[in-house]
């Protein structure tokens, strides 16, 4: 792992990297509306503290010093960021599609709209029987 390249990916969120005796701590702030799915992090390795800005949450990801442990912490943080950025992008896309649909509805007659059918392209062939619910950390 090239340290500079890896840290550069965290810069918008990174507050500090600390070493205290035999423990390493990576401190980050994330937007307060971001989620942290339990599947992405070892709950024993994350501590939340108060953030001076209520728009953000402050977390310390901690473990014993070691390359594998550092890699696991970094991977957890990177996955949390990716998960939330993907959620934000999906929300933007969803809103865009809603706006497109509203515009379409405004321009069409009621009779035409009643006949309308959706043909979703790129629909996955396997759809789960029930929605996946992410259990999130408090």
Instruction: Report yes or no: 30 and 59 within 8 Å, Cβ to Cβ.
Output: yes
106 domain residue, yes or no: no
Nearest 10 degrees: CA dihedral of 113, 119, 125, 130?
A: -10
> Given this model, what pLDDT does residue 124 score?
67
> Given this model, what pLDDT does residue 130 score?
45
121 domain residue, yes or no: no
Which residue range is the domain that position 36 belongs to? 3-87
Sheet with 14-20: strands ordered across:
14-20, 23-31, 56-64, 46-49
Which of 3, 9, 1, 8 is CA-nearest to residue 82? 9
> Is the pTM higher than 0.85?
no
43 domain residue, yes or no: yes
From residue 24, give the alpha-carbon distance in Å to each of 36, 60, 70, 117: 20, 10, 8, 56
> Given this model, what pLDDT does residue 131 score?
45
Q: How far is 60 from 126, CA to CA, in rounded Å?
A: 38
Residue ranges in the chain modelled with pLDDT below 50: 129-132
> Given this model, what pLDDT does residue 5 score?
83
21 domain residue, yes or no: yes
CATH classification of the domain holding 43:
3.30.1370
14 domain residue, yes or no: yes
Say how many domains are in the chain: 1
> Which pairs from 12-15 meet CB under 8 Å and 24+ separation?
13/77, 13/81, 15/58
> Given this model, what pLDDT does residue 8 score?
86
């Amino acid at each position: 792992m090239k340290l500079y390249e890896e840290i550069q990916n965290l810069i918008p969120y990174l507050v500090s990297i600390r070493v205290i005796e035999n423990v390493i701590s990576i401190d980050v702030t994330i937007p307060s509306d971001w989620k942290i799915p339990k599947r992405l992090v070892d709950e024993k390795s994350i501590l939340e503290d108060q953030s001076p800005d209520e728009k953000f949450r402050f977390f310390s990801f901690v473990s014993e010093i070691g390359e594998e442990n550092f890699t696991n912490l970094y991977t957890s943080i990177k996955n949390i960021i990716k998960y939330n950025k993907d959620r934000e992008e999906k929300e933007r896309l969803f809103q865009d599609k809603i706006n497109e649909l509203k515009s379409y509805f405004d321009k069409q007659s009621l009779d035409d709209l009643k006949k309308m059918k959706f043909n979703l392209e790129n629909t996955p062939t396997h759809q789960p029987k029930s929605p996946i619910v992410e259990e999130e950390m408090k």
